[in-house]
Amino acid sequence: MTSNRRVAYTRHMNWDRDAIFKALGDSTRRLILDELSERTEQTMYELTVRLITKHDLSITRQAIAKHLSVLEDAGLLKSERKGKYRVVIFNNEPLKNLLKGWIE
């Protein structure tokens, strides 16, 4: 890898790390990831109901959508349309890659 490519790669990785840490810095987003780690794929409605009933959160679907956007920007989840529903899918690879450098 040439020096210029290595610098560009490092900057990209730092941006990803910053986005991941920003996403993890909010307790509601961590609860969302907790729920998605239990059931990797959920509709927006299912996730909202679980957060409200299981964690006694007072939160709107719009607020959850904003949190999901931050998580998606960090690569921690993706969303797909399945019919009329938006399905949210957990992606733990960025977390594995983040920790890999420190643990191995």
**What residues contact residue 24 under an 8 Å CB cut-off, 6+ apart?**
30, 33
Q: pTM of this prediction?
A: 0.79
User: What would the pLDDT profile of 64-88 be if each residue is shown by its tens digit?
Assistant: 999 999 999 999 999 999 999 989 9
Domain ranges, ordered by start, for the chain: 3-103
Q: 3-103 adopts what CATH topology?
A: Arc Repressor Mutant, subunit A (1.10.10)
Q: Collapsing DSSP states into helix, strand and coil, what is residue 2?
A: coil
Identify the burial level of 34 via C-beta atoms within 10 angstroms of its C-beta, where 0-12 means exposed, 13-18 middle and 19 or more buried.
Answer: middle
